[in-house]
Each structure stands twice: as structure tokens, then as C-alpha cells.
Amino acid sequence: MKGIGNQETKLTEFRHWLHRHPELSGFEDTTSAALADHIALYEPDRLVTDLGGRGIAAVFAGSEPGPRILLRCDMDALPINEVTDIPYRSAIAGVSHKCGHDGHMTILMGVAARLHENPPARGSVVLLFQPAEETGEGARRVIADIKFRDIEPDFVFALHNLPGFPLGSIVLKNGAFSSASRGIMVELTGTSSHASEPQNGKSPALAVAQIIETFTSLSKSSISKDDAPMVTVTHVRVGGRTFGISPGEGCVMAVLRARTTEEMNIISRNIKKIAEVIAETNQLECSIGWMNEFPVTENSGKAAGAIRSAAGNLGLRIVQPDAPFPWSEDFGHFTEKYSGALFGIGAGDDTPALHSPEFDFPDELIPTGIKIFIEIINVLQNCSVTA
């Protein structure tokens, strides 16, 4: 796979290799090493490794002053078993690229090949291969890494393939593009007892049932006029797998989603209070923890305008959703600090959904993803942006 001739075939082969060797969030060792070795073929002016964990950043510098533009892709796979009968199916049992991050990495590698052939005229371009997107930890850790201070961008961009949209279309909107989310873990502690004498203990079973019912009902209400928050129970545990013990502990995990930061703050306070009141009513101790936090991904007008101009220059169809997507992206940590935008690239109307065992990233999107990123760079270097 060395050399830069016949790029499209080589990039497809690289995507298939990545697909065969998926790694979970925070454990992207083989992926990171392969990316570093491969991108070195394109001779970046600077290569930063172990960024925010196993992240890789390749810097391509221009000869004149100008903006620093960061393009980001995600590296991690999911704990989903590969069921698709394809020649390059996952070689790791129970782990697979069912969100298309293998395709996103390949697109950015293709951008590296183009920048090797035609370096940016002005400023610089940073290609960031970011770990641990699925847990919401990767972007935050990259930004906090002291090595990131030397490559802080003026603009940040990322794309995500989106099944259900026409193949190769650009899905874009100003403002909030994807929702905020955060996980809550409610741990309840009572007292165990013999199952024949439950009155001698304090079982959390009823409290767990009440929490599940109340949390689920909140998805049917609305905090604001147009947007309803979502609360999805994702895990429940009461006691152990036994018939002889009335349980003394239980746990409920749920994910909260909201389209604005204000809504997320409100629903978080409400959820916490509900759990505490139910626990107190049932005479149980209650411990609450928050994790997997994703902010709203907010597209700036100028960054979204650059994408819109680039898509227009390339003759690509633009689809504008009416509302933010309910799913979350840790790219929101970048758009909180820098002018930037996340956009979608249509993966086809009939393509299986993201995180589905049947999903496989369409190789046909690789050239389109490369072209739109390169054109975004050209637009910003020429300052021809219409918001």
C-alpha cells in the first residue's frame, strides 16, 4: 500500500483494512500506529502523536500567512458483532466499525494525499484523527492536551456519513446541528434479607420500577414549545441472579438528550430530583453519577457558509434539516471553543442505520468527502464565504 499512485484504489483498500481491525474507544493502539505510518507517506510538515490518548495530528503548512484550518475525523469502533458477509469483515469478535469511522479516517487520509501534491497556499491545515468519540471523551482530552496548544485552529470542520439521505448529498444547517446528551447512573442502596422475609430488609426493586416509569414518561413531555427532551433507560439491575435473597441494591442507567444547553440543564436537574425523591420515599440511599457527556454541536455561520460555498462550487446537493439531529457528537467540544461546523454526507436512502449490525460505510463516499474538505480549505483561503 505504499506510494501515492492510483489513490482511489489504495484508499479503498486502506478503508477495508481499518474495517477488519476495529478497536474500541480508548484502545485504538493498532489504528493509531497504522494511521501514523500511512500518513507519513504524505510528508506532513509536522506529525503529532499520542494526542489526547491515541490521537494523531498531521500539519500541512502553506507558504504565506493565513488561517489554520482543522479537519477532524473519529477513530473508534463499537461493541457490535459484525454480521455482514463481506470479504473485509471485522477480525475482532464483538467489535466492528458500525458508525463509519473507518470511512471518515480514509477520507482524511485522502485529503493528506491531496495536500501532499498541492500544499495549502496560505495558512495551514491540521488533519486530526481523534480517538474515543463514542464515549464523549476524545475531543475533550485532545483539547486539554498541552500538545494541542501549538496547533489550535481558527476553524474546525468534521463530517459524518448519514444513512437515509441521498448518496453524496451534503446535509447542513446553521446553529445547532446535533443534540446534547449525557448519561446518568442512579445507584440505590438498601438492605438485603432472606427472600422469605423481605420485610426485614429494604429492597430497591419498587424504587427502580418507579424511576424507570417516571424517566420514560418524561420523553412524552416538552420543556419548550418546539423541542421535547428525551430520556432513554439503557440499563437496569436489581440484586443478583438468585432466588434466595431479597436485594439490597439496584442501579438504573439512562441517557438524556436535549437540543439546547438550557434544556439539558433543566432536564438534568429534574431527573436528579426525581431519583432522589423516589429513593427517600423508599428509605434508600441514593448516589448519582454523570458520564458520557456530549455538548450541543453548534455550527457557526461563517463555517457553515464555507461548507455551503464549497458544496455549491462542486455542484453537490445540499439538504437542510428542519431541526437538530437527536444523536450527539463530541465534536461539540470543538465548536464550543472554535468557529466550526459539523456536516453530514448522505450515505444513501436505503443504507442500514448507523450502529446497525448490517451497516457498512459506502466506499463511493470517499472521493466526495475528500473533494468537499479540499474545497472548504480553498474557500477559506480565498475568503469567499457567504454565511
Per-residue pLDDT band for 384 (boundaries 50, 70, 90) equals: low
Per-residue pLDDT band for 1 (boundaries 50, 70, 90) equals: very low
H/E element, 311: helix 301-314
pLDDT at residue 178, rounded to an integer: 96
> What is the DSSP code string of 255-302?
EEEESSHHHHHHHHHHHHHHHHHHHHHTT-EEEEEEEEEE--EEE-HH
> What CATH number is given for 7-178+297-382 in this structure?
3.40.630.10
Q: What pLDDT, in 10s, does the model give residues 102-137?
A: 999 999 999 999 999 999 999 999 999 999 999 999
Domain boundaries, the chain: 7-178+297-382, 180-294
> What is the DSSP code string of 201-242?
SB--HHHHHHHHHHHHHHTTS-SSSS---EEEEEEEEES-S-
Angle between helical axes of 205-218 and 261-281 (0-180°, round to 10) = 160
CB atoms within 10 A of CB 255: 18
- What pTM was computed for the model? 0.90
**Low-confidence winner among 14-18, 162-166, 230-234 (lowest mean pLDDT):** 230-234
Return the C-alpha cell found at 114: 491531496
**Per-residue pLDDT averaged across 48-61, rounded?**
97
pLDDT at residue 2, rounded to an integer: 44
Give the residue among 19, 167, 44 at the shortest CA–CA distance from 109.
Answer: 44
Report the chain's mean pLDDT, rounded to a whole number: 94
Return the C-alpha cell found at 221: 413531555
CB 252 within 8 A of CB 211: yes
DSSP percent split of the chain into helix, strand, coil, nearest 5: 35, 30, 35
**Per-residue pLDDT averaged across 212-239, rounded?**
77
Question: How far apart are alpha carbons 327 and 43 in whole angstroms?
Answer: 36
Per-residue pLDDT band for 365 (boundaries 50, 70, 90) equals: very high
Per-residue pLDDT band for 220 (boundaries 50, 70, 90) equals: low
**Domain 180-294 adopts which CATH fold?**
Alpha-Beta Plaits (3.30.70)
Q: What pLDDT, in 10s, does the model give residues 170-215?
A: 999 999 999 999 999 999 999 999 999 999 999 999 999 999 999 9
Residue 386 region, left (φ>0) first, then alpha (ψ -120 to 50), else beta?
beta
Q: What pLDDT, in 10s, does the model give residues 246-302?
A: 999 999 999 999 999 999 999 999 999 999 999 999 999 999 999 999 999 999 999
pLDDT at residue 8, rounded to an integer: 84
Question: How far apart are alpha carbons 55 and 42 in whole angstroms?
Answer: 18
Question: How far apart are alpha carbons 386 and 317 in whole angstroms?
Answer: 17
